[in-house]
Structure 1
Amino acid sequence: MKKYSCETHIDHALDMFVAETEDFPIMEKILDAEKLSTKCAYCEEHATYIVSSK
């Protein structure tokens, strides 16, 4: 499972990931080239982070 998040919604994305998967999340910064096409799962801003599992 992967969740994409902007700076504003990163706390919510981490909380939701733990609630849904009951697993420890890994937060990675998205590369600049990927930022152009990737949107936040909670708003229309460009995503800054990927929250995923191992």
Structure 2
Amino acid sequence: MIYSCEEHIDIAIDTVVDEHETFPILTKISEEEKLSTACEYCRNSAVYLVANE
């Protein structure tokens, strides 16, 4: 699972595809989660959770 902001969503998708060889599932993070969850690439507030399951 990768938390990503709008700017880095393409990198997160590519990472999941490369690692798991399947299209990822994108889930939009709720407003409450945004406050405490950072993007794994830049530490801005995450908007999406990118996962393989």
Check whether TM > 0.5.
yes
Structure with bigger helix share is 2
Moved over 2 A (4+): none
Unaligned runs of 5+ in 2: none
Matched, 1:40 2:15: no
Unaligned runs of 5+ in 1: none
State the percentage of identical aligned residues: 53
Aligned mates of 2:16, 2:40 — CA distance in 1 = 12
Aligned mates of 2:39, 2:18 — CA distance in 1 = 18
Aligned mates of 2:27, 2:3 — CA distance in 1 = 10
The alignment yields a C-alpha RMSD, in angstroms, of 0.7
Shift of 1:44: 1.4
Relative to the length of structure 1, the TM-score reads 0.92
Count of residue pairs the alignment pairs up: 53
